Structure 1
């Protein structure tokens, strides 16, 4: 499954205590840190638009980020935009490299996760011009894979919006344009 060729903006939720400790949260519904809440508030300048549609993961960290970053937004919550179920890896430290394409014990396969996420994104893109998606780093990894052909690359930083632009005339790949400085982590994970 590929992305429908329509532009959109993606933003990852604010920092959580699990992010700070470099622990895999996955399906754990963890809260934002005070810094994570401030990151969302600081993103208002980048996200101050009249969005055609705002699609948000139904997990607390994404919902809270959306409410703080776009305080007057009208949100639509999707179970399909949740972070990947990492099974027995949830609650453990990040690994290097992370086994993104492997199916973790008791967890969700990469293909299943990818299909679930792209189904929601394409449903929204089919109906709305340049919507905003607020979700998780794993969701962005799916977007990267569908847009440029690889899930590999630096992790998208917390509350660092990325404009996703489909190929134009004479182009073959999507552009993933950071709307803020330092949108991507220095390390490749």
Structure 2
């Protein structure tokens, strides 16, 4: 049975500084680099051979993928990049400190902007908007590879992965509010030939 491995990038500089990042390219921190390396070591220890990889076009996801595959001893994996897997665009909030934004607009409003399914931050995307680009790409490009029996690694972001996990785990719009994808932790789904998830584990 093929495996789908979802990996949120390691800690980025703006994760560390508690800023809204969105589509801004920021590098991994030394901790983020280590998280990516450890993810690869876990994949290697689990004996998982990666047949195909996908990543967003943002540097932190691409850097995570490179470090992860190198640590897994698998540096020649065919890879595709797509903006469809990018983090949600945070619009006017990009670059702002999350705590300062909560103090200005109220914690409940900022939680809605960050966690809800359909509420957009000013000038930005909701999770629903992110899903509208990430899911068609997932079903058109990624899942067919898994259904064909390939082990696939996806290096992406908190919200593009939330959109995918929401569908795989059959979560409601209310349940997805509490869904958090941790940095640098490989989430492994076993997928059958019909594209149905059979099991889910974290390495």
Is the pair's TM-score, using the shorter chain for normalization, greater than 0.5? yes
2:82 aligned partner: 78
> Structure 2 length normalisation: TM-score?
0.75
Does the CA contact (< 8 Å) of 1:57 and 1:63 recur in 2? yes
2:119 aligned partner: 102
- From 133, 156, 174, the equivalent of 1:116 is 133
SS of residue paired to 2:180: strand
Give the number of equivalent residue pairs: 171
What whole-Å deviation, never above 9, does each CA across 1:54-77 have from its counterpart, x for those lacking one? 011110000001001102133211
Q: Greater helix percent: which structure?
A: 2
CA distance in 1, matches of 2:39, 2:165: 22
What whole-Å deviation, never above 9, does each CA across 1:149-177 have from its counterpart, x for those lacking one? 2322242221101113459xxxx987542
What whole-Å deviation, never above 9, does each CA across 1:105-146 have from its counterpart, x for those lacking one? 211243321021111211221133331100001112112321
SS of residue paired to 1:22: coil
Does the CA contact (< 8 Å) of 2:162 and 2:179 recur in 1? no
Does the CA contact (< 8 Å) of 1:141 and 1:152 recur in 2? no
Unaligned runs of 5+ in 1: 1-5, 180-189
Q: Report which of the two structures shows the higher radius of gyration computed on alpha carbons.
A: 2
**TM superposition shift of 1:18:** 0.8
Runs (4+) off by over 6 Å: none
**TM superposition shift of 1:22:** 1.7
Q: CA RMSD in A?
A: 2.4
CA distance in 2, matches of 1:175, 1:44: 20
2:182 aligned partner: 157
CA distance in 2, matches of 1:69, 1:173: 24
SS of residue paired to 1:42: helix
2:60 aligned partner: 61
1:45 counterpart = 2:41:
yes
1:185 aligned partner: none
2:5 aligned partner: 9
CA distance in 1, matches of 2:178, 2:197: 16
